[in-house]
Amino acid sequence: MKLTEYSNSGGCGCKISPNILDKILKNLKNNFLPKEIIVGAKNSDDAAVYTLDKKTSLILTTDFFVPIVDNPKHFGQIAATNAISDIYAMGGKPIMALSLLGTPTGNISVSVLRKIIDGAGEICSKAGIVIAGGHTIELKEPIFGLVVLGSVKNKYLKKNNNAQLGDYLILTKPIGLGIYASAIKKKKISKEEYKEFLDTTTQLNDVGTKLSKMKAVSALTDVTGFGLLGHLTEVCIGSKLSAEIEANKIPILKSAKKYILSNMLTGASQRNWNHYRKTIYMKSSNNDFYQRLLSDPQTSGGLIISVKKKKSKEVIKLLRENKFKYANIIGEMKKYNKNKIITVI
């Protein structure tokens, strides 16, 4: 069997609905936290943060999912890139990783499993870390991911709840990854489209470490399973502001529109939309298309950067220098209103 044939979904599209997740975490979010934990479950941020002293904090995150591609090495690379991204989205630098592997051992060979781990190891090496250990269990459905530990100077820590009124919003990678993943699973993807998908999902968000040192950058987060609308909504709620985005300025994968028009969608896209739709207003003659695109779950997606308007060109220049060639200004933070996000064309 191909790896994706074991999976009902793929990549971050296998995330539980945000509505159900809120119910599951209700008590956890109300738990008392030691003062050293300055970012925890109730913050809806990318990772947990533990303060060591006045200068330094530790960042801890974990992410794993079912196969999103059939090539085991590529699966490991994508999963590792995705997991490490949370460290960069907090402005941190990764230190080490642990692997999380679940496999139906009777069906998947040792050589395939080794390729998954080796692929992850290659990405970790690019990030300057090693996989120091991990845990492996038997499951009916294969899963893989990492626990990642990072560090950050306290003065450089970036959270998703500090966007400022008038900030420009920049997205660093094109969206449509969930749509492409669906095409991969249904064997509809071309070689060129697969390469575009792999290049995007294995590009480290390591520029986040550089962005963290810019005072003009107010907030950072990465775009994963809840889609662009979901993760931007979290920025708005945490920052007590709204966002206005220009949908035609959002970078998208080359064939995303083609696949959306042919109903190549994920179940997670509709779940995301059902949860966030009450606080989103669309001023478009093509609402159905943008609803599907902006709710599409991303695996190893880009960063959303909230930055002072006058420094936005400097950030775009930095992103271009770090090979984020599709990065673009997509909107602006506005005064709070009942609509967390307004999309205009």
- The residues carrying an active-site annotation are 12
Rama region for 133: left / alpha / beta (φ>0; ψ in -120 to 50; rest):
left
Of 340, 315, 341, which is closest to residue 328 (Cα–Cα)?
315
Q: What is the largest CA-CA distance in the chain?
A: 58
- Where do runs of H (alpha helix) occur along 254-339? 256-261, 267-276, 287-295, 312-321
Helix, strand, coil % in the chain, rounded to nearest 5: 40, 25, 35
> Residue 287: which residues within 8 A CB-CB, separation 6 or more?
none
Cα-Cα-Cα-Cα torsion 291, 297, 302, 306, nearest 10 degrees, comes to 50
Mark 244-280 as b/e (b = at least 16 C-beta within 10 Å): bbebeebbbbebbeebbeeebbbebbebbbebbeebb
Token pair 């609905």 in the structure block, residue: 17
